[in-house]
Copies of this chain bind each other. A is one copy, B any other.
Amino acid sequence: MNINYLNEASQIFKILSNETRLKMLVNLENKSISVNDLSSLLNIEQSAVSHQLSILKKHQLVDTDRVGKSIYYRLDDPHILDIVNEAVQHSSHVIRVKKHGE
């Protein structure tokens, strides 16, 4: 394991450690969504959504396009979802093991 990137890796995990941001990324998997739409979709107020999106954008996980008055967000780096997937699989596995004592 290349230990030099552990600091960067921890940054990535920090970004992914927030359920709201995860939901955003997953929802953006195959389409762009405007800030307002994300806000109502996730049931989180606009300002909070903007703040979180700015974090994702700062770290180049998403990028934006303006369409009229709206800003549409889209994944900038779909590979990030592979990491999310690994974690989801890990979770579902752990939960299965707990339930059935495999």
Which of A31-39, A45-53, A67-75, A88-96 lies at the interface with chain B? Answer: A88-96
Q: A79 in the interface, Cβ–Cβ < 8 Å? A: yes
Q: A60 in the interface, Cβ–Cβ < 8 Å? A: yes
Partner of A2, one of B16, B19, B88: B88
Q: State which residues 8-22 of A face B: CB under 8 Å.
A: 8-14, 16-19, 22
* Majority-rule SS of A interface residues: helix
CA A87 to CA B88, docked complex, whole Å: 14
Query: Within the oligomer, what is the number of copies of this chain?
Result: 2
Contact with B along A73-102 (1 / 0, CB 8 A): 000010111111111101111110000000
CA A11 to CA B98, docked complex, whole Å: 16
CA A20 to CA B9, docked complex, whole Å: 12
Distance (whole angstroms) from the CB of A76 to the closest CB of chain B: 11
CA A80 to CA B9, docked complex, whole Å: 13
Which A residues are closer than 8 A to B by beta carbons?
1-3, 5-14, 16-19, 22-23, 26, 29, 60, 77, 79-88, 90-95
